[in-house]
Amino acid sequence: MCRKGSLKVRVVCLLVMATVIVGALVGCGGNGNSEASPTSGTITVYTAIENVLAGRLVETFNARYPDITVNLVRDSTGVITSRLIAEANNPQADLVWGTAASSLMVLEDMGMLEAHAPEGLDRILPMFRSDKNPPTWVGITAWETAFIINIPELEALGLTVDDIRCYEDLLRPELQGHIIMPNPASSGTGFLTVVGLMELYGRDGGGWDFMERLDVNIQDYIHSGAGPANMAAIGETVVGISFGFPGISRLQEGAPVAVVFPEAGSGWDMEANALIAKDNINPAAKTFLNWAISDEAMAIYNEAFPIISTGEGGSYYGFEGQNPVDQLIEQDFVWIATNREAILNEWERRFGS
């Protein structure tokens, strides 16, 4: 029987989904240009936003600010978080963009974030910003656990999509060795899925017990949150535990997949932005952060994510006639940030090998 989670937030925000086909724009690191002005110079931006979407956003930003060069350093959430922490005494990034709020809370506790109130902050829902005034981080989107299922491969095992509707369905013996999941140490999607299972089945033991049972069916734990969706799309696995955006993108490209949001609800996190605390704050970094919550940027986020921090949107695959926020389980982000290291250590002890 599928277990149902509870909901803490109430926001009306849906999405009109569009296929995003734009080349990725990826640069290298650096300390930025000390001679930068608010409208010129070089900024180094660390991000966990998927390459295609990040590329389109940076291109749009540069159309408005052609004299600001954006050196984009993109990796999975866990890698970006670890890199920022490792550089704490010599920050290389000017800002972090579109990285899990639970990670930014860890950086906030370490004194690594500079408070900044970007222009248009009054449009951002309170649940999507830190409790400081001015805020140390500001959210832009939310993303959630989803199952990406290769339909022909699943049917070859004697199952249909209707057989995979909740987390317990992933324990079916037919799926042994046929599920790919992101590694929570490197992937924000992996981490939010692990935390979601702990919230649904119990933080003290039930969540870990469920993951032990699920581990029997896991083919591999991989670096990327989008990777399992892409592998399911090309038949390298039957079920990819991922998040909605890459699965729906592959579906719209014609891949033989179904995107299933588990009936119990999804673990989730916010993508958020923050200014890195350093001796010389790059003024162009503030310009980028201002633009990153503008209506122009929000419209592009909203093509890929059902929930944006202004609470606006349209219809969304899998939630026609419904509020996608209802898919989000109740989570305590302070608890998550406080226990992040302990959770990852326990996961590594149990499943790292």
Distance CA(170)–CA(242), nearest Å, equals: 13
Domains of the chain: 22-142+268-324 (3.40.190.10), 144-267+333-346 (3.40.190.10)
Supply the pTM of this predicted model.
0.79
pLDDT greater than 50 at residue 9: no
| Bigger pLDDT: 314 vs 39 | 39
Would strands 268-276 and 95-100 be described as parallel, antiparallel, or unpaired?
antiparallel
What are 253-267's pLDDT values in tens digits? Answer: 999 999 999 999 999
pLDDT of residue 10: 31
Distance CA(115)–CA(136), nearest Å, equals: 4
What are 127-142's pLDDT values in tens digits? Answer: 899 999 999 999 999 9
Distance CA(288)–CA(339), nearest Å, equals: 31
pLDDT of residue 154: 98
Place of tokens 């399911």: 232
- Cβ distance 325 to 40 under 8 Å? no
What are 217-236's pLDDT values in tens digits? Answer: 999 999 999 999 999 999 99
pLDDT of residue 129: 94
pLDDT greater than 70 at residue 29: no
- Cβ distance 77 to 103 under 8 Å? yes
pLDDT of residue 157: 98
What are 177-193's pLDDT values in tens digits? Answer: 999 999 999 999 999 99
Instruction: Copy the structure tokens of residue 161.
Output: 């999509």
